[in-house]
Chains A and B, each alone.
Chain A
Amino acid sequence: MRELAPQVLGALVRRYGQFDACEDAVQEALLAAAQKWPAEGVPDNPRSWLTTVASRRLVDEWRSESARRRREETAAALELPVQSAPSDRDDTLTLLFLCCHPSLSAPSQLALTLRAVGGLTTAEIASAFLVPESTMAQRISRAKDRIRSAGATFTMPPASERGDRLRVVLQVLYLVFNEGYTSSSGPDLNRADLTAEAIRLARMLHELVPEEGEAAGLLALMLLTDARRAARTTAGGSIVPLDEQDRRLWNSNQIEEGVAILTRTLGRVPVGPYQMQAAIAAVHDEAPSAKDTDWPQILALYEVLERISPGPVVTLNRAVALAMVSGPRAGLALLGTLDGDGRMAHTHRLESVRGHLLEQAGDLVAARESYRKAARMTASIPEQRYLALRAAHLP
Chain B
Amino acid sequence: MKYMIMTFGSAEAGLEAMGRDWMLEMVQFMRALDKDLKDSGEWVDAQGLADGSQAKTVRFQNGIPVPTDGPFAEAKEALVGYWIVDVEDEERAIEIASKIVAFVKQPIEVRRVMDAPPDF
**Footprint of B on A, CB under 8 Å?**
105-108, 111, 129-132, 134-142, 178-183, 191, 232, 239, 241-242, 349, 352, 378-384, 386
Quick one: closest A residue to B117, CB to CB? A182
In the complex, how many angstroms separate the beta carbon of A174 from the nearest chain B beta carbon?
12
Query: Which of B19-27, B39-47, B49-57, B100-108 lies on the face that meets chain A?
Result: B39-47
Question: Contact: B86 with A135, CB < 8 Å?
Answer: yes
Known: A106-B88, A135-B44, A135-B86. A178 touches B117 (CB 8 A): yes
Within 8 A of A (CB), among B44-82: 44-45
**B18 CB within 8 Å of chain A:** no
Are B112 and A379 in contact (CB-based, < 8 A)? Answer: yes
Contacts between chains A and B (CB distance < 8 A), count = 79
User: Is B13 in contact with chain A by the CB < 8 A criterion?
Assistant: no
13 examples of A-B residue contacts, CB within 8 angstroms: A105-B88, A107-B88, A111-B41, A129-B86, A131-B86, A134-B38, A135-B41, A138-B39, A138-B41, A179-B117, A181-B118, A378-B118, A386-B118
| Cβ distance A315 to chain B, nearest Cβ, rounded Å | 15
In the bound complex, residues from chain B placing their C-beta under 8 Å from that of A239 are 118, 120
Query: A131 contacts which chain B residues (CB < 8 A)?
Result: 43-44, 86
**Residue B116 is within 8 A (CB to CB) of chain A in the complex:** yes
Q: Are A142 and B41 closer than 8 Å at their CB atoms?
A: yes
A383-B43 in contact (CB<8A): no
Q: What is the bound-complex CA distance between A102 and B42, given in angstroms?
A: 19
Least CB distance from A130 to B in Å reads: 7
A380 contacts which of B41, B45, B119 (Cβ < 8 Å)? Answer: B119
Interface residues of B (CB under 8 A from A): 1-2, 38-45, 86-88, 112-120
Closest Cβ of chain B to A153, distance in Å, is 23
> B117 to A107, Cβ gap below 8 A?
no
Taking each of B42, B45, B86, B118, which has the highest tally of chain A beta carbons within 10 Å of its own beta carbon? B118
Q: Are B86 and A383 in contact (CB under 8 A)?
A: no
- Please, which residue of chain B has its CB at the minimum distance from the CB of A182? B117
List of A residues within 8 angstroms of B39 by Cβ: 138, 142
Least Cβ distance of A224 to chain B in Å?
14
Flag if A130 contacts B120 (CB, 8 Å): no
Main secondary structure of the interface of A (DSSP, over half): helix
Q: How far is the CA of A130 from the CA of B113 in the complex (A)?
A: 12
Q: Judge whether A138 and B40 touch: CB under 8 Å.
A: yes
Known contacts A132-B43, A135-B42, A135-B44; is A380 also within 8 Å of B86 by CB? no
How far, in whole Å, are A380 and B115 apart by their CA atoms in the complex?
Answer: 6
Contacts of B2 in A (CB 8 A): 130
Report the bound CA distance from A108 to B40 in whole Å. 10
Name which residue of chain A comes closest to B90, CB basis.
A346
Complex Cα spacing A332 to B86, Å: 36
Q: Is the CB of B41 within 8 A of A383?
A: no
| A383:B44 contact, CB within 8 angstroms | no
Question: Which residue, of B1, B43, B117, B119, has the highest number of chain A Cβ atoms within 10 A?
Answer: B117
Closest to B87 in A: A107
Residues on B with beta carbons closer than 8 Å to the beta carbon of A138: 38-41
**Are A380 and B116 in contact (CB-based, < 8 A)?**
yes
Give the distance in Å from the alpha carbon of A333 to the alpha carbon of B116 in the complex: 29
The residues of B that contact A183 with a CB separation of less than 8 Å are: 118
Q: With contacts A139-B41, A181-B117, A378-B119 known, what are 13 further pairs, Cβ within 8 A?
A: A106-B88, A107-B87, A132-B45, A134-B38, A140-B41, A142-B39, A379-B113, A380-B114, A380-B116, A381-B114, A382-B118, A383-B116, A383-B118
In the bound assembly, the distance between CA atoms of A88 and B40 in angstroms comes to: 33
**In the A-B complex, the 8 residue pairs with the closest CB atoms:** A139-B41, A379-B116, A138-B41, A383-B118, A380-B116, A380-B118, A182-B117, A105-B88
Q: B92 to nearest A CB, angstroms?
A: 9
How many Å from the CB of B57 to the closest CB on chain A?
25
In the complex the two chains form, what is the Cα distance from A142 to B112 in whole Å? 24
Closest beta carbon of chain B to A271's beta carbon, Å: 24
Q: Give A362 Cβ to nearest chain B Cβ, in Å.
A: 23
Q: Does the CB pair B41–A379 fall under 8 Å?
A: no
Does B120 contact A349, Cβ atoms closer than 8 Å? no
Residue from B38, B43, B120 within 8 A of A241 (CB atoms): B120
Verify B38–A135 contact, CB threshold 8 A.
Answer: yes
Residue of A nearest to B1 (CB): A379
Residues from chain B with a CB closer than 8 A to the CB of A380 are: 114-119
Residues of chain B contacted by A379 (CB below 8 angstroms)? 1, 112-116
How far is A179 from B71 in the complex, measured between Cα atoms in Å?
Answer: 37
Contact B40 A232 (CB under 8 A): no
**Separation in Å of the A281 CB from the closest CB of chain B?**
12
